[in-house]
Structure 1
């Protein structure tokens, strides 16, 4: 086994880059739906050895850092290609218009995201130290780069390495303390530590880091077992939810010619007896994101059909595009991807407009939009000019429900952005449409990330997805009930009560900053000591 470490350290040229790519690709198996935690070990351990091999790369002082950055790029490229290949499915929904762009999504986006890994590896190399200290350096570098990936250029924290710990019920409970990026630091530190077992200078050094990593993993599991109560969460009185999952294919969902058939399907499903056949009348019905191939708020006939569906005192919560009245001089108003609340009279009581839009999916930067249209192309969404983002996040008020933190589609993957400033909500609502990605790992990854937000915030999650996975999640991340991917049906359930604010909700950003600052101070102090001993 030690020969294996030596070979990874000494490998050069294209073999080094290919090894890094393969190691990164293996790491993607730690993400949903596979959730194989040892895969991240098999990914990060070679990464440590490969970084060890950059020590004497080239005569220049900066040569090792350039090598580390290139190494990180290949590692990240493998990780993101293997973890995000399913994005290509979206280009095949309307293949005649978008198939040509499929390589840009399947290979181009991973190539761009890999620059964050390149930065993380280079930063780690800058702080590199012998033995177990280099594990802390890698955890520090990748945590910083992952935080940047989640925030720069509108952010895209999909398949963050912290999700390796964010899928198991017990292990995910630490997110209530440190959030996703804290889990990133822990995941990298734990999974990279076995590298020291084969390269430590002494027997003590070889066992200390892996032993501490194993103890830390057991400690996280023990904390999770302690935190999750043995009994089910209490429920909110007088609330009976019905989540409708129509399982419409994307090519049919937004075709205006199918509007009547789509509405009939929604109404029939929503009025069905449910799985147990004896469910009480729902107080709230939830439909998924952008449910209609038309503007619901400008369609009195459809609102009347919804009113006929709803019983006295019941409410519909649905995704629906909406348009403002055009301003003077404008041909059309601005379009928003929204959630609308409708009462038993067919009256729209309120709406939440999406804040965090999907680049190139829901909008295109203005200068690029002009070029795209000049070339005779268009974006995925059939909306003139794309959607407009809401200016700020706000709670959604729904009769009969506690205050709601509403999220649409991938807004649920952003830690720390769920709750608006002001009074705390008691519920996270997520409506989404993952039909773009079929029965690939994408919807499973999306669901797992939304589930982790419930643990971070200590809030129940109500999720309605067009093709799945629709579910009710309690504040501890336990799945109360769900509809699997690719199934048509309704989900009748009660609403779990929210827990007290978590440590992450109150101190999340401070705790991450403090952890990284302490780690940096320790690494710098150790490095100075090493230099002084020389």
Structure 2
């Protein structure tokens, strides 16, 4: 290990750049659909050794001294985000004649921007760099901080935060309920980077021991929650509401075509909703359709509401994604919202919720006037794009159940789990991942949705046009689900759905406590008091 570490520390030029990119790209194996979390041990061990060798002239300015570390972190991040987000380009191929030109921006441009956060993390860590365990703590604290910043700055995009690599299965997700995804991210970097101490020997015994304790605690807590903690009491099986998730797997290119296709799409959803329950099961009480599943403005189509009423029994409820239009009066443009409707058995809209956190360049165009002059349009065809709702509110069903509504990628934001979520019975997430085809994107999206269930302590009801649709309990375990691109439906019940099982943990407080402890270790090590060799 020492010989290997020395070679990597001393590597220079093009080889150094390629190695940093490869180290980041290799770490993507830890993410869905592969989920080989051990890949991150290789990635961060290499990153530590590369930063060890990221030296500059002592006469350089502060920026000059930090530049080699920033460049190393940026290259690492570029490899990580290209390998982890290349599938975003698939959305542009749905209408390739219009958007193929933007493929390089999606596949290379966005990763180049996101990699800046990892470059800053490496540079910040370099300020507190030392010989022993302290540099591992500095790197962990810096990544935790910059991943947190990435979750909100410029509307935020915390997709594939490093912590998800440490949460490939429910037994490894439970820590997120206490310290949140960003807390798991910070401690994960410490654990993943710890093997680097074996190559330089300084602080190896203490650092490896602490990393092993953290990893054991992570697994042990998960096992305790899953196997030793009783689940909340629930109503008898025949008293629980049956939830049907409809997954039609409509190709996105078809959804964008003519009126005849829209009518066929609507009929497909109605047909799957009326299918008889399998194996003598009970009829569904709640039927869920995915994002924008109603392919026209519902309030302008009274016949559609009548057909929904004819499809549903009087005691059934339909929850469906649709585009909602809001007329502001003569002389004002119509506003469009990406919405969720709750429709009762009489065809009446009894509740609705609009999407709050829109996708830049997908649902709205930043700097619209300027970019329109350059010929740049939204990926989603909508005059003026979508409008964002001012706030989020619970969807209350006639039965009294309350769902916390999240449309599409809103589910990836831990900080979106606020407001009246404490009164919710479950998280409701509808999405349309058919934009991304059979790529890693839908698998990554689903994992992040499961982690939100664990963080909040609430079950998750997730319906996707092409998958992955599933009912997930509050511990991240799949109750029932449909595979990617599978056409059909599932009927499922949830333990304790009628109760609010969420537990209000001060996750942000624990995250900042974790950051503070890591920074203290880094500072003390930097000053040479402890954690350094004699």
Please give the TM-score of this superposition, normalised by the length of structure 2.
0.94
Seen in structure 2, the aligned counterparts of structure 1 residues 140 and 271 have a Cα distance that, compared at 3 Å, is same
RMSD over aligned Cα atoms: 2.0
Give the Å deviation of 1:333: 1.8
Cα deviations across residues 51-103 of structure 1 (Å, max 9, x unaligned)?
A: 11124556315333111011111000000000001111111111111111111
Which secondary structure does the structure 2 equivalent of 1:446 belong to? helix
Cα deviations across residues 118-172 of structure 1 (Å, max 9, x unaligned)?
A: 1100011011111111110110111111001111000000000000122221111
- Distance in 2 (alpha carbons) for counterparts of 1:58 and 1:302: 72
- Distance in 2 (alpha carbons) for counterparts of 1:350 and 1:433: 21
Give the Å deviation of 1:404: 1.1
State the partner residue of 2:338.
337
- Distance in 2 (alpha carbons) for counterparts of 1:433 and 1:106: 20
- Distance in 2 (alpha carbons) for counterparts of 1:162 and 1:35: 12
Conserved? CA contact 1:253–1:292, under 8 Å? no
Conserved? CA contact 2:40–2:192, under 8 Å? yes
Conserved? CA contact 1:419–1:425, under 8 Å? no
Farther-moved stretch of structure 1 (219-228 vs 420-429): 420-429
Farther-moved stretch of structure 1 (392-401 vs 87-96): 392-401
State the partner residue of 2:208.
210
Conserved? CA contact 2:365–2:377, under 8 Å? no
Cα deviations across residues 496-530 of structure 1 (Å, max 9, x unaligned)?
A: 3266443xx43111111122123223322332345
Which secondary structure does the structure 1 equivalent of 2:511 belong to? helix
Which secondary structure does the structure 2 equivalent of 1:416 belong to? helix
State the partner residue of 2:521.
522
Farther-moved stretch of structure 1 (287-296 vs 60-69): 60-69
1:336-355 mapped onto 2 (5 Å cutoff): 336-355=337-356
- Distance in 1 (alpha carbons) for counterparts of 2:48 and 2:479: 40
- Distance in 1 (alpha carbons) for counterparts of 2:300 and 2:184: 45
- Distance in 2 (alpha carbons) for counterparts of 1:507 and 1:169: 21
Farther-moved stretch of structure 1 (505-514 vs 133-142): 505-514
- Distance in 1 (alpha carbons) for counterparts of 2:57 and 2:151: 31
Conserved? CA contact 2:54–2:72, under 8 Å? no
Conserved? CA contact 1:239–1:401, under 8 Å? no
State the partner residue of 2:301.
299
1:131-170 mapped onto 2 (5 Å cutoff): 131-170=132-171
State the partner residue of 2:437.
438
Farther-moved stretch of structure 1 (469-478 vs 234-243): 234-243
Seen in structure 2, the aligned counterparts of structure 1 residues 529 and 215 have a Cα distance that, compared at 3 Å, is closer
Conserved? CA contact 2:179–2:511, under 8 Å? yes
Cα deviations across residues 238-296 of structure 1 (Å, max 9, x unaligned)?
A: 4111110000000112334212111111111111124x242211111000001122111
Give the Å deviation of 1:198: 1.6
Match of 2:220 among 219, 222, 226: 222
- Distance in 1 (alpha carbons) for counterparts of 2:3 and 2:100: 46
- Distance in 1 (alpha carbons) for counterparts of 2:384 and 2:292: 17
Please give the TM-score of this superposition, normalised by the length of structure 1.
0.94
- Distance in 1 (alpha carbons) for counterparts of 2:197 and 2:55: 16
Kindly indicate whether residue 100 of structure 2 is the aligned counterpart of residue 102 of structure 1.
Answer: no
State the partner residue of 1:509.
508
Conserved? CA contact 1:256–1:294, under 8 Å? no
- Distance in 2 (alpha carbons) for counterparts of 1:173 and 1:437: 29
State the partner residue of 2:73.
72
Give the Å deviation of 1:297: 2.0
Runs of 5+ consecutive residues of structure 1 not aligned to the other structure: none
Seen in structure 2, the aligned counterparts of structure 1 residues 46 and 454 have a Cα distance that, compared at 3 Å, is same
- Distance in 2 (alpha carbons) for counterparts of 1:533 and 1:291: 62
Kindly indicate whether residue 76 of structure 2 is the aligned counterpart of residue 84 of structure 1.
Answer: no
- Distance in 2 (alpha carbons) for counterparts of 1:482 and 1:491: 7
Give the Å deviation of 1:533: 12
Farther-moved stretch of structure 1 (52-61 vs 215-224): 52-61
Kindly indicate whether residue 420 of structure 2 is the aligned counterpart of residue 424 of structure 1.
Answer: no
State the partner residue of 1:45.
45
Kindly indicate whether residue 446 of structure 2 is the aligned counterpart of residue 447 of structure 1.
Answer: yes
- Distance in 1 (alpha carbons) for counterparts of 2:280 and 2:142: 55
What is the total number of aligned residue pairs between the two structures?
525
- Distance in 2 (alpha carbons) for counterparts of 1:37 and 1:398: 40
